[in-house]
Structure 1
Amino acid sequence: MTFKILLTDYEFEHLKYEEEIFQESGLDINFIKAKCKTEEEVMEQAKGVDAILNQYAPISRRVIESLENTKIISRYGVGVNTIDLDAAKEKGITVANVPDYGMEEVSNHALALLLSSARKVTLLNKEVKKGNWDFKVCVPIHRFNEQTVGVLGFGRIPRRFIEKVKPLGFKTAAYDPFVSAADMAAVGVQKMDLDEIIGKADYLSIHVPLIDDTYHMINEERLKQMKSNAVIINTARGPIIDEKALSYALEKGIIVGAALDVTENEPVSIDSPLLTMDNVIITPHSAWYSEEAMVELRQKAARNIVQVLKGEKTPYALT
């Protein structure tokens, strides 16, 4: 039996890692490579396929309801906001992601954004290159042990981030309605509710998934609850923050800074006021990246498909 696997879209230079996994599986596989951008294009390419490998193309309810033989949809990455999970579950289709491929990379990137913000490295570098050799441009800077790093979410990545932050002397707190205070206390982290952590954090690092409940979780009202010296760090998903409200808060001094690896629209608009602010650091959704993480991501996403087509369970199944 020949299994048809559709790759809806990709931005890689080659597909050797995926092809190696499929070849090693012992299955007879027809690997269909597409460059879909719309629902219609996915629906056309997905006719009769047994599995879908997905990067950014939309796998909406409409797309899923059109599928006839598909057993699994595997996504490159942690987030699955491109896929309608409810529709897939109703259809009996397994959806799988790769939640652990970039744990070190994202936690390291969040740490880098924290340290650059806390020591104002980016600002100082910019000023020196302009000919301004004066530490006073970064006033004030405070000792780490006088400050609190608050984390939204307490999954793999934020736990690893906190492990890296704690030895530096920061106090740490976390918000996650699905994790008990006892579990957090066991690793030396204080559990707070959402309003409490927003009001007490000097640095607020976002690590929650983008779902209906977290869309614009950080909005105008919550920004006004934050300390005036607070910095927001986001390595999760851009729409968790209301970017218009964030720009206003930064312009008016409601909070002091932001360090973002993700934005509401990507790439960030060239007209975004965030690009003109010295108190904002923006990187191009690169927190996940290392050469090793790239290979791991692609191999595991392909392996999800092989396991399901063989009648096995993938450990990364979400439905």
Structure 2
Amino acid sequence: MPVVLYTDPAWVIGPDGAVDCDRADVEREVYGTDIQMRFGPYRDGAFDVSGDAFLGALRGADAVAIYRAQITQEVVDLLKPGCRVVARQGVGTDNLNAGLLERHGILGFHVPDYCVDEVSSHTVAMLLALERKLIAQDGLVKEGRWSIHAGGVPRRTGDLSVGIVGFGRIGRATSRKLQPLYRRVLAYDPYVHDDLMRGYGVQGRPSLAELFFDADAVVLHAPLDDSTRHMINDMSLRPLRRGALLVNTARGGLVQPEAVLERLRDGRLGGYGSDVFTPENPCDHPVNKEILTSPHTVVTAHRAFLSDASERSQRLRVAEEIRRVLLTGRPPLFGRLA
């Protein structure tokens, strides 16, 4: 019987903080008695995604579903020759190592469109929380400090321009949600033609610098690869309008935290919202931890994708595609790596 290893599935952790196999109801329904399922090593409240226990769990797997775990040469060496497919339970391929999988004849796929509505809505929510100074006001009122003007006076968004970096599925959905709120919606994406942007009522900009020069707020929806890593840095932030807002719901690696912290300190950034950090928990990085102390930030724990419907859809689609590969030999229908 084929074996599927789920290395680090957050959804299998119960309210008591322990692995609860009964929560794998979606997967059992898809796999039935045809495919065996197991989970990676879990201890001290977290899955091991490296080390001997993690590597040992990979042996004998015909398929692997990863969440935050990284596909490395060491991992692939253990998966060969039996593993036929690796799935990422989420959007993005930066931890799938597509080239490495392809060189060793292992299929790979992700689920690029299961949470478009959730991430775009989360992005707009973070941006509006910054615009309307909601976090500052919430804290002050709860402390008994009632003041209309405390925390700063908001801007009128209808007079402002907002820029989107990355105009893929989520960037396009975000543009639709921002258009009723801002005077202009701009976008920069070197892989999307200006004609398509215009079809969405968005004005394209040919460079990141020109987008920053024209925008009062910027949201990030770019993928993470070698060309975009730390694309938000001290140099790229220089054209940004003073007091502009920045929101990142894409990947933590897009942003150089030292540059963000410095721009928050000098007021070039009027506010920073982020759902993603590198490393995953910002408290594990000294600069990110300091960013959290700024009164001009709003942060969440990498959950922009999350809703009851999106999580169930992602799990279902991953299981269906793995079943397709293992039982029919055909490649995934959706999200296959090029």
TM-score, length of structure 1 as denominator length? 0.93
1:157 matched to 2:182: no
Query: Quick one: which of 51, 56, 64 aligns to 2:63?
Result: 51
Displacement of 1:95 in angstroms is: 0.8
* Superposed counterparts of 1:7-46, under 5 Å: 7-11=6-10, 12-13=12-13, 14-23=23-32, 28-35=34-41, 36-38=48-50, 40-46=52-58
Matched with 2:265 is 251
Contact 2:87-2:110 within 8 A present in 1 as well: yes
The ranges of structure 1 where at least 4 consecutive aligned residues each deviate by more than 3 angstroms after the TM superposition are 39-43
| Aligned partner letter, 1:97 | H
Within the alignment, does 1:81 sit opposite 2:116 as a pair?
no
User: Following TM superposition, by how much is the alpha carbon of 1:138 offset from its aligned partner in structure 2, in angstroms?
Assistant: 4.2
User: 5+ residue gaps in structure 1?
Assistant: none
Q: Distance in 2 between matches of 1:182 and 1:171?
A: 16
> Match for 1:76: what amino acid?
Q
Contact 1:47 1:68 in 2 (8 A): no
Question: Which SS does the other structure have where 2:130 is aligned?
Answer: helix
* Alignment partner, residue 286 of structure 1: 303
Q: What is aligned with 2:17? A: none
The alignment yields a C-alpha RMSD, in angstroms, of 1.7
The structure, 1 or 2, with the larger RCO (C-alpha pairs under 8 Å, 6+ apart) is: 1
Asked if the contact 1:42/1:63 (under 8 Å) is kept, the reply is no
Distance 1:307 1:39, change over 3 A: farther
1:182 is matched with which residue: 195, 198, 207?
A: 195
CA separation in 2, counterparts of 1:229 and 1:164?
22
Work out whether 1:121 is the aligned partner of 2:142: no
User: Does the residue aligned with 2:238 lie in a helix, a strand or coil?
Assistant: helix
- Answer with 96-105 or 135-144: which moved more: 135-144
Q: After alignment, is 135-144 or 211-220 more displaced?
A: 135-144
Partner of 2:335: 316
- Offset at residue 139 of structure 1 (A): 3.8
Which range moves more in the overlay, 112-121 or 32-41? 32-41
| Matched AA of 1:208 | A
Gaps of 5+ in 2: 14-22, 42-47
Shift of 1:284: 1.2
Residues 37-87 of structure 1: per-residue CA shift (max 9 Å, x gap): 216444422233221111222221221133212111011100222222111
Give the direction of change, closer, same or farther, for the CA distance of 1:146–1:31 in structure 2 (3 Å limit).
Answer: same
Alignment partners' CA distance in 2, 1:140 and 1:172: 23
Contact 1:74 1:302 in 2 (8 A): no
Give the distance between the partners of 2:260 and 2:209, measured in 1 at CA.
17
* 2:242 is aligned with 1:228: yes
CA distance in 1, matches of 2:51, 2:69: 8
SS of match in other structure, 2:283? coil
Aligned residues: 315
Alignment of 1:199-278 (within 5 A): 199-269=213-283, 272-278=289-295
